[in-house]
Amino acid sequence: MFKLYRSPHFTAENMTLRDVYWHCVQVNEDSDYCTLRNLVMWDAGEGPVKVTSPGHSGPYSDYGLIEDCVIGYTTQGMRDVVEGIDIVGSVGWVIRNCEFYNVTKGPDPDLVGYGFFAKGNSQDTVVEGCYFENCDIPLSFGGGGTAPEWFRDGDMTYEHRGGIMRNNVVNGTKDVAIYMNSAHDFKVYNNTLWSTFAGYDSSIDSRFNSSGEIANNICSQYYHLRDGGAATEHHNLWHASLSLFEDPGSGNFHLVSGATSAIDQGADLTADVPTDMDGQTRPIGAAVDIGADEYRTPTFSDVTDAHWAVRQVEACAAAGVVGGFPDGTYRPSLPVTRDQMAVYISRALAGGDEFVPTGPASATFSDVPTDHWAFKYVEYAAAQDIVAGYDDGTYRPTIQVDRAQMAVFIARAVVSPTNRPDLPGYSPPDTPTFPDVASDHWAYKYIEYIAQPSVAVIGPTSSSPETRWPSMSREHLTCLYSPPVGHCGINLLSKVRR
């Protein structure tokens, strides 16, 4: 679908590329600094990403970056050559935070597909933070070997030199999880490898003239040095138990609090592995953990590192905008009501709960009297022109906030104080951004306002904010306040008036 030839600094992002005959992206000679970001690459005839150059002579395609991509097949690959990412004769590629599914040639044990490999005298490849589910051999330096004419600079001494695999999770295989084939000086650090091939008790193989270091990994099986392959190994958990993990059945290989054989038991490799698969700085606690996850005692017991909005919830909790319940939970899916919304808005606007004023002597709204638990917050939000009552003088504090109301609150909070509350000076576009928010929708102006790239990121523009989230819950709420993570979050914490 994209074929690069002498095209450095190419970037493709935010697309789905699928059902192509050969490759989704083919990076040919002299195309350095290719970036593939936030792509879905699905059911390609042969490997979704292929990086090759004209053999011995170059020029080569180096220093590429593939991150936040989803790569795989609905059931399995249908052609002879099945890979996820195939890199030949290239230097300095980084594969980061990608997910790989069903890169397999099916049940025949003699037919093997690779989730990722780099070979042909490739060098210094980094594979980190990736998740591999049901791939025959998920990770390899060296792959199945390279024909002589394709080795970089004609140097056939090694298939791969240097490089590191760190913080990756493997969930299901048809062979080993990591295969080193003529890979010189490799590092395999802090991976969680659930290899499941019953016929061979090995999560990691080092074969032929491979050499390197294997440390801080959690593995379901053992490792093997074959045909002269070498490695030093230390601080690994071999034949580990699934009870170490939160919910491995759904791919959640975060450590549980009782995983004492892994937590704080790793070697200090922070020079090479400064963070974990969540992006958290290592170590947390007394020492580095073994495996891809560094365990963190969650602020709220029901928002662990596996929760999709954990970073947003933590950011809001740290800023004093949200709090938990007395039992230590956050209850992320609980709907947000108008009184609660006033609390969050007021805390953010005032710069913390302690700066929200106590409110006027008499109540503005008949149903939020001075002794109402949210009185001072509702009054403050009303005084700031963020919230308004109904025509009958009520505030209706227990009504759930929907996304249209949310857009109004956010838009009023984001704009400069002199422009509130009706966004004077802002004209919404003639053509609606969202198919279910027509230009005569009562909140049209506000929803379009916060959908502007300069103001907010509220999800892919092809889908509607209201159909995606019909009502607000406490997890969605935090996304509006915290720095963007992927497509979620508008960083209201940085935009509100303090």
Judged by the rule CB under 5 A, the positions of this chain that interact with Ca ion are 264, 276, 278, 280, 283-285, 289, 293-294, 305
When CB distances to Ca ion are compared, the closest residue is: 285
Q: How far is the CB of 270 from Ca ion (least distance, A)?
A: 11
Q: How far is the CB of 275 from Ca ion (least distance, A)?
A: 9
Residue closer to Ca ion (CB basis): 205 or 289:
289
Residue closer to Ca ion (CB basis): 144 or 283:
283
Give me Rg for the CA atoms of the chain: 26
Residue closer to Ca ion (CB basis): 259 or 345:
259
- In angstroms, the CA 442 to CA 419 distance is 19
Q: How far is the CB of 428 from Ca ion (least distance, A)?
A: 41
Q: How far is the CB of 265 from Ca ion (least distance, A)?
A: 8
Residue closer to Ca ion (CB basis): 120 or 332:
332
Cβ neighbourhood burial of 390 (10 Å; 0-12, 13-18, 19+): exposed
Residues of the chain by 3-state class (helix, strand, coil), percent to 5: 20, 25, 55
Per DSSP (E only), the strands in 192-305 are 192-194, 204-207, 211-215, 218-219, 223-226, 232-234, 245-247, 252-255
**Which residue has 């905008």 as its token pair?**
321
Token pair of 102 as six digits:
């069903």
3-state secondary structure of 492: helix
Q: Is 182 within 8 Å of 159 (Cβ atoms)?
A: yes
Q: How far is the CB of 311 from Ca ion (least distance, A)?
A: 11
Residue closer to Ca ion (CB basis): 29 or 289:
289
Q: How far is the CB of 167 from Ca ion (least distance, A)?
A: 10
Residues forming a β-bridge with 234: 215
Q: How far is the CB of 350 from Ca ion (least distance, A)?
A: 32
Token pair of 263 as six digits:
């937590």
Q: How far is the CB of 243 from Ca ion (least distance, A)?
A: 18
Cβ neighbourhood burial of 145 (10 Å; 0-12, 13-18, 19+): exposed
Residues 6+ apart with CB under 8 A from 43: 18, 19, 73, 74
Distances in Å between the Cα of 349 and the Cα atoms of 129, 278, 352, 377, 383 are 36, 30, 8, 10, 11
Residues forming a β-bridge with 192: 169, 218
- In angstroms, the CA 115 to CA 171 distance is 12
Residue closer to Ca ion (CB basis): 212 or 298:
298
Residue closer to Ca ion (CB basis): 175 or 276:
276
Q: How far is the CB of 284 from Ca ion (least distance, A)?
A: 5
SS3 of 231-263: the string is CEEECCECCCCHHHEEEHHHCEEEECCCCCCCC
Residue closer to Ca ion (CB basis): 82 or 309:
309
Q: How far is the CB of 309 from Ca ion (least distance, A)?
A: 15
Residue closer to Ca ion (CB basis): 114 or 295:
295
Residue closer to Ca ion (CB basis): 46 or 289:
289
Token pair of 417 as six digits:
């104080």
Residue closer to Ca ion (CB basis): 288 or 342:
288
Q: How far is the CB of 314 from Ca ion (least distance, A)?
A: 11
- In angstroms, the CA 183 to CA 224 distance is 14
Q: Is 141 within 8 Å of 164 (Cβ atoms)?
A: no
